[in-house]
Amino acid sequence: MSINEKASILIIYTGGTIGMREDPITKSLVPMKFGMLLDEIPELSKLGYAISSITFNPPIDSSNITPAIWAQLARTIQKNYTKYDGFVILHGTDTMSYTASALSYMFENLDKAVVMTGSQLPIGVLRTDGKENIITSVQIAAAKKEGRSVVPEVCIYFDSQLFRGNRTTKKDSAQFSAFASYNYPALARAGVDIVYNFERINYPKNNGVLKINTAIDDRVIILKIFPGLNRHYFENILQMADLRGVVLESYGSGNMPTTGWLLAAIKKAARSGLILLNVSQCPGGKVVMGHYETSIALQKAGVISGADSTVEAAVTKLMFLLGQNLSSEETKYYLSNNLKGEIGV
């Protein structure tokens, strides 16, 4: 394995904590210009790569990320795909897993690395984690083996670990290890060397031209099951006009109360054409429909198992599939099956 000394890398700066600085008057954090951010990382020039950048104007706090931004990112990479060996997206941490999941579904024939990263402390702060995150992300984006990208996936690099993007969730807002991939091992770990887990990386079977599909239907909602769930609210949400899909966050391995009214509401919603996807509230493990009596009724009602997918991967997958003008049965089929490494096979 080698790193291409003359690799060309495109950094796409969307915003987020990594590009913040303290306003000298208000003392609040405000976005800095990308050129100022690069000035804080002179080490990048020592890598010997041709590094270019595109900056979102204005920079976007990750709390304000929308499907339109996902589409903009996908189009930006497609437009520049033939010019660069790899891509690094700087993004706020709060919604990074949602963006990484959505992008993974939008790309077809991806054979270059798209590495997302950010930081818990602004780049201008003395103890920032941003420098190492950016430097190593650029190295990973540039890495090649036998002429092809080492990690041709949408990934998240944070605190010395590289994860498949659609397997991640943000686990901590106070530690540098902000992300975890509970149901899938890391694709790489960065210590003295960057050690890749090659057998866990997805390599494209076809080397066709990169295609993107940015169609999204946002008429979906996430409903978390909890003790004391109000019947009136639950029934009314499922009956909302124009709602097309629901991600149900259930207990454990996919269980919900066997209360008559709740099951009746779910059955009624499924019969009306609503797509219901069941994922676990537990960060680790998976939904096993029919394993316990409490989930057998859900399975019979037509609720789809999300297996071991994260909530972020599940809701973006549902939005993506609903945007493809598929039949209800086709949508359910693809929800149940692995598309981009988001669920176990």
| Site of tokens 């079977």 | 205
Q: How far apart are CA 6 and CA 47, in angstroms?
A: 9
Question: Within 13 A of 85's CA, how many CA atoms are on the CB side?
Answer: 23
| Whether the Cβ atoms of residue 7 and residue 140 lie closer than 8 Å to each other | no
Nearest to 338 by CA among 316, 317, 324: 317
> N- to C-terminal Cα distance for the chain?
28
Tokens of 249: 């966050």
Tokens of 246: 């629901």
Give the residue numbers marked as catalytic: 17
- In the beta sheet, which residues pair with residue 104? none
Q: How far apart are CA 76 and CA 13, in angstroms?
A: 11
Instruction: Calculate the alpha carbon distances from 109 to 113, 207, 257, 320 in Å.
Output: 12, 6, 42, 17
